[in-house]
């Protein structure tokens, strides 16, 4: 996740607050959806079926991550729609946006891809994203973002907390 959301120049005009927050919302939600997809890939290795026999938590975790992926994709879509309304289509995630999370997930999952370890990886991703979104929300609220955009951000932050709570049962 992008830790630079809190480092916005003070000179930006308040009318840009919605654009900045929506852009952060889109990026955050899209990165979470991609993280879910990557972790699901480690649960179903080499095109095989999930290893039910080795760990009974594999199938339920895959289902949880799939549901989370769909929901985060929905948040990204909502933020994208809001950006279109504001006159700025969402920017595609660059490799620089994706790289920190991808490298972290890949390295750690290669060492341990048990359901417990993968749940812990996702919880870490969610916590980082929640902190970034909270900073962005506070910054943009101070700059005068709309209530509608702030509601989407609040809902995304609450959902990331809910997801963390769900995943704790796999630890």
CATH code for the part of the protein at 14-170:
1.20.1260.10
Q: What is the pLDDT of residue 9?
A: 46
Residue whose C-alpha is closest to residue 28's, from 167, 146, 136, 138:
136
Domain ranges for the chain, please list them.
Answer: 14-170
The answer to whether 50 touches 59, Cβ cutoff 8 Å, is yes
8-state DSSP, 96: H
How many C-beta atoms surround the C-beta of residue 104 within 10 A?
15
Q: Which residue has the higher pLDDT, 58 or 82?
A: 82
Q: What is the pLDDT of residue 102?
A: 80
Report how far residue 35's alpha carbon sits from residue 169's, in angstroms, rounded to the nearest whole number.
19
Q: Give the relative orientation of helices 147-167 and 17-43 as an angle to the nearest 10 degrees.
A: 20
Report how far residue 118's alpha carbon sits from residue 105's, in angstroms, rounded to the nearest whole number.
8
**13 CA to centre of own chain:** 27
How many C-beta atoms surround the C-beta of residue 75 within 10 A?
22
- CA distances to 9, 101, 103, 136, 168 from 107, rounded to whole Å, are 34, 10, 6, 28, 21
Least confident of 15-19, 31-35, 124-128: 15-19
pLDDT range class, residue 157, cuts 50, 70, 90: very high
The phi and psi torsions of 79 (rounded to 5 degrees) equal -65, -40
């Amino acid at each position: 996740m992008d830790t630079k959301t809190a480092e916005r120049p003070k000179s930006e005009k308040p009318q840009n607050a919605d654009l900045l927050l929506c852009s952060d919302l889109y990026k955050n939600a899209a990165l979470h959806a991609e993280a879910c997809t990557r972790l699901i890939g480690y649960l179903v290795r080499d095109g095989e079926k999930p290893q039910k026999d080795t760990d009974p938590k594999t199938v339920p975790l895959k289902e949880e991550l799939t549901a989370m992926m769909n929901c985060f994709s929905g948040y990204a879509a909502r933020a994208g729609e809001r950006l279109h309304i504001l006159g700025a289509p969402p920017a595609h995630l660059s490799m620089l946006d994706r790289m920190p999370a991808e490298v972290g997930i890949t390295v750690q999952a290669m060492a341990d891809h048990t359901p417990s370890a993968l749940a812990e990886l996702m919880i870490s991703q969610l916590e980082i994203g929640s902190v970034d979104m909270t900073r962005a929300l506070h910054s943009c609220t101070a700059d005068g973002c709309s209530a509608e955009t702030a509601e989407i951000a609040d809902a995304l932050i609450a959902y990331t907390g809910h997801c963390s709570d769900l995943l704790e049962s796999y630890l």
